[in-house]
Structures are given as structure tokens and as C-alpha cells.
Amino acid sequence: MRLPQLLSLRRGKNLFLPAHGRGNALTMETRRLLRNKPGVWDLPDLPEVGGPTCNGGAIMKSQTEFAEVFGAKKCWYGVNGATGLLQSAVLAIAKPKQAILMPCNVHRSVLQACILGDITPLLFDLPFLEDRGHFCPPSFAWFQKVLEKLKNENISFSAVVLTNPTYQGYSEDLEPLIKEIHKFKMPVLVDEAHGTYFSSPLADLNLPKSALNAGADLVVHSLHKSALGLGQTAALWLQGDILDPIIVERSIALLQTSSPSALLMASCESALYELFSISGRRNLRNSIETARELVFQLRKEGVPLLETQDPLKLVLHTSSVGINGINADDWLINRRIIAELPEPGTLTFCLGFARHRGLRSLLKLTWDKIVSSNIERNSFPPFTRPPSPLIKTLNTSLLESFKADWEIVPLSHSVGRVSSDFISPYPPGIAILLPGEKLNNEFVSWMIDQRIFWPEQIPSKIKVVV
Ligand SMILES: Cc1ncc(COP(=O)(O)O)c(C=O)c1O
């Protein structure tokens, strides 16, 4: 089948991202634009339109206006997802050979930017939920332990990246962590790819605090993941006085296409507008309240949905009955129910902002069917966390090991070697092994064990530096 035909296929129940639910919740403005003569919106950076890093033009004006609405100093739209803007942000906060402190569940785009900029990642361990195999963001007490350890071991760094919320929706209040980091006048970049709508003014709904309100210097939003933007739309916000906007803008220009799509730029604006407009807020409130009620009812009916802080994510605890979430996903796809994030312990559905009529009975029925099916069962949980120290440092530079000559060896023969491989099951895009890591016995055994859960994603042979 040719791609255009494939894209117009009906898929059954869409419980995946983008959050506009295959157009069902797109903003009125975007719908109107798309109903125009096909392609009429496909404009280059004409003087009146401009681009995210142009002086003048409608895009710059729009970014400036929204920076003001969000209480930020600067805003830039992006057309390569949160990925592209995270990478620019990382290049803006550190120089070659400097180190950035970041959590071990950081999205791989941050690590890829470290390769590009010859920056050293200092990965700190996180609380791990063994019943489902998920990391959660650090509490203040946890983060203080990390800082203490860095101080005792005399390890220096120049910036911090935090991820909040996680893909599954776990979130912590980052304000005390950011305040602590600011005591050292260091910038904090927050990957809030999954939490754009936390910045909407709906205080009574008890949503997690947006990193913009928690005082982060740079915040990246994926507008297609957690607002109503089209695929690839994103926004980067700058606030405070630690970072120079010129340096951030230079880094954006470094990685950005010279022809950003005008349609995607318009979609960025429209998605942000929706977070603040009266009708947008009403719709958002509706989505959140409906989702909370759905979870409440499904739990009452015995469907094991785990608790996270993002009401629009439904995290089905498949491993609570010994079913791998990846197998459950295959089973559901065959029945035309398409989830977002299959993992060994869970299957996460994204409700997004579209309405889902009949979802409660569909999910209840499906869960009952899967439990009584002959789908493969295993004896898990518990899941074991990766055997990593509180702070993971690399043995050689990430860039040098990535570019080094390599050979392929069976995982079981890799002990004592330095990895040249970047292994990161996708989704969720969290790295298991980085270039520059020296492989020890304990870690290799853990990786071999993980192959039971991720047979397609963790290879039996890896690249090591020769
Ligand atoms: C935590 C996190 N950050 C960033 C990204 C990248 O987002 P995008 O798809 O908008 O590039 C993802 C994608 O899965 C993610 O989960």
C-alpha cells in the first residue's frame, strides 16, 4: 500500500499521540486552515511570515505575544518536535567538555545532543517502581542525596536537565530542586514534553505544577504530545536571567531547517492559544474531568489502572496478571485498539483531547477478554532496576566512543569492553547503554535478563570500541 493510502486508513480505537486524536480535537483555526485549497498554506519564510529565529514577521510577533501570556522572556516554535528544541537547548547550556547533570530516564534526544556538542552526561539514578518497572522523577530529598554525592566526590557540572512529567505521567514539584540548583547560578532545562497543558490556568483541577511556574530557565513542550498541535510541533521557553537569549537562539538556528513549515508554525500558535482561550479551557477541563471519571469507574470494575499525575494517560498494569505489555499491545492491535506505549510491565493509552464514546465498556470488556485468553504469562513483577551507581559517569567521552572504530561482539562476551553502542528501546526512548560505558559483569547479566522483556529492542550482540 502506498503511504498516502495508508495514512487515510481508519484504525479502530485511537489511544495514541498526537493528542488531537487523528483530527477529532484539532482547533477550529487549524481545521479552517486545512479546509482551504490544499497546499495554500505551504508558504516559505516571506517577510510578512518570517520564521522562529527571524527578526520581524508574523511568527516572531506570535512568539513574543505568547512569551508574554506565559510569563516567559522568550518563546520559540519548533518543527522537529520536542527532540529538536531539546537538542538546541542542551547545546545552549553547556560548552564542549563540560558536564550536564541529568536523570537516568532522560529522553535520548538529550544524550544525542551531548554527542553533537561533545558534552559529558552525568546520569543520576531515580526512584524505581519494581511492580511495573518505571522510573519516577526525583523528590527533593532524593535530589539532595545526588548533590551531596557529587560534592563529596568533587564532580563538577555546569547545568541540569530534568524530565517532568515522565512518559507515563509521573510528576513531582520541581520548584525546590530548581531553587537549590539556582543557588549555584546554574541553568535548569526541563523536558516537559508530556506536560504542556499543565501550564494552562486551571488551578482548581489540581494538575502538576508546570516547570514554567517552578522557575526553570528553559522549558520544552511537545505541542503534539500534550496540546493540540500537529505532529512535530513544539515550543521552547526561556525565563530568568541566567541564560542569554542570543546563545539559545544561535543554538536553535544551528539545528533548525531553513524552511520551517508555515502550517506547523500556525499549528504551534493555535495550540498555545487553545490553552488560554475560554473555549479551549472549557474543553480541556472537560477532557480532564471525563478522564478522571473514566479511571475511577474502570478501577471500580477491577481494571488495574496505575496512578500517575497525568489524568490523560491510562496506565494498564498488565504485568499484575503476568502479561507483558508488549504482548498485550500486539493482542489489542489485532482487535483494532491502538495504544501509545507498550512496555514489559504496562501498556499506556493516551486519551489526548478527543472524545472517546463507549471507552469505558470497551476497555472493561477488552481487559476481561485478555485475562481469560491464552496469551503468554510470565512470573513478573518484580522488575529489577539497572545495577547503576547513584551517579553514572562514562569511562571515555560519549562523542569519542560513538565515533570510535568498533567491532560487534555477543553481549555475553562484552564484559570489560567499552560500549560504542547506543541502546534505547523506543518507545519510551530511555537509554539502557551509552557509548563510553565500560561493561561490567553485573550490568551485562542485567541486560541479558532484560532481553526476555524486550526481545526485539535489546540486541544479543553489541558494538564495542576496538
Ligand atoms: C520525555 C520525552 N521527551 C521528549 C520526547 C520527544 O518528543 P517529540 O516526539 O516531540 O520529539 C519524548 C518522546 O517520546 C519524550 O517521551
Q: What's the confidence (pLDDT) of residue 142?
A: 98
Percent of the chain clearing pLDDT 70 (strictly above): 100
* SS3 letters across the chain: CCHHHHHCCCCCEECCCCCCCCCCCCCHHHHHHHHCCCCCCCCCCCCCCCCCCCCCCHHHHHHHHHHHHCCCCEEEEECCHHHHHHHHHHHHHCCCCCEEEEECCCEHHHHHHHHHHCCEEEEECCCEECCCCEECCCCHHHHHHHHHHHHHCCCCCCEEEEECCCCCCCCCCCHHHHHHHHCCCCCEEEECCCCHHHHCCCHHHCCCCCCCCCCCCEEEEEHHHHCCCCCCCEEEEECCCCCCHHHHHHHHHHHCCCCCCHHHHHHHHHHHHHHHCHHHHHHHHHHHHHHHHHHHHHHHCCCCEECCCCCCEEEECHHHHCCCHHHHHHHHHHCCEECCEECCCCEEEECCCCCCCCHHHHHHHHHHHHHCCCCCCCCCCCCCCCCCCCEECCCCCHHHHHHCCEEEEEHHHCCCCEECCCECCCCCCECCECCCCECCHHHHHHHHHHCCCCCCCCCCEEEEEC
pLDDT tens string 354-404: 999 999 999 999 999 999 999 999 987 799 999 999 999 998 899 999 999
Centroid of ligand 1 to alpha carbon of 112 (angstroms)? 13
pLDDT of residue 276 exceeding 80, the answer is yes
C-alpha–C-alpha distance, residues 455 and 448, integer Å: 10
> CB under 6 Å to ligand 1: residues?
81-83, 107, 109, 163, 167, 191, 193-194, 222, 225, 234, 427-429
Which of 105, 109, 220 to probe ligand 1 with, by most ligand atoms within 8 A of CB? Answer: 109
Of residues 307, 423, 442, the one with CA closest to residue 384: 442
Domain positions in the chain: 28-278, 394-465
User: Quick one: 394-465 is in which CATH superfamily?
Assistant: Orn/Lys/Arg decarboxylase, C-terminal domain (3.90.100.10)
Atom of ligand 1 nearest to the CA of 84: 11
Q: What are phi and psi of 254, to 5 degrees?
A: -65, -35
Centroid of ligand 1 to alpha carbon of 114 (angstroms)? 16
CB of 115 within 8 A of CB of 402? yes
| pLDDT band with cut points at 50, 70 and 90 for residue 8 | confident
Centroid of ligand 1 to alpha carbon of 84 (angstroms)? 10
Centroid of ligand 1 to alpha carbon of 83 (angstroms)? 6
Atom of ligand 1 nearest to the CA of 163: 1
Q: Give nearest CA residue, ligand 1 atom 7.
A: 82
Region 85-111: what's the mean pLDDT?
97
Centroid of ligand 1 to alpha carbon of 152 (angstroms)? 33
Q: What's the confidence (pLDDT) of residue 10?
A: 79
pLDDT tens string 135-170: 999 999 999 999 999 999 999 999 999 999 999 999
pLDDT of residue 203 exceeding 80, the answer is no
Atom of ligand 1 nearest to the CA of 427: 14
Which of 107, 264, 310, 350 to probe ligand 1 with, by most ligand atoms within 8 A of CB? Answer: 107
Q: What CATH code is assigned to 28-278?
A: 3.40.640.10
Centroid of ligand 1 to alpha carbon of 221 (angstroms)? 9
CB of 228 within 8 A of CB of 20? yes
Which of 83, 90, 126, 171 to probe ligand 1 with, by most ligand atoms within 8 A of CB? Answer: 83
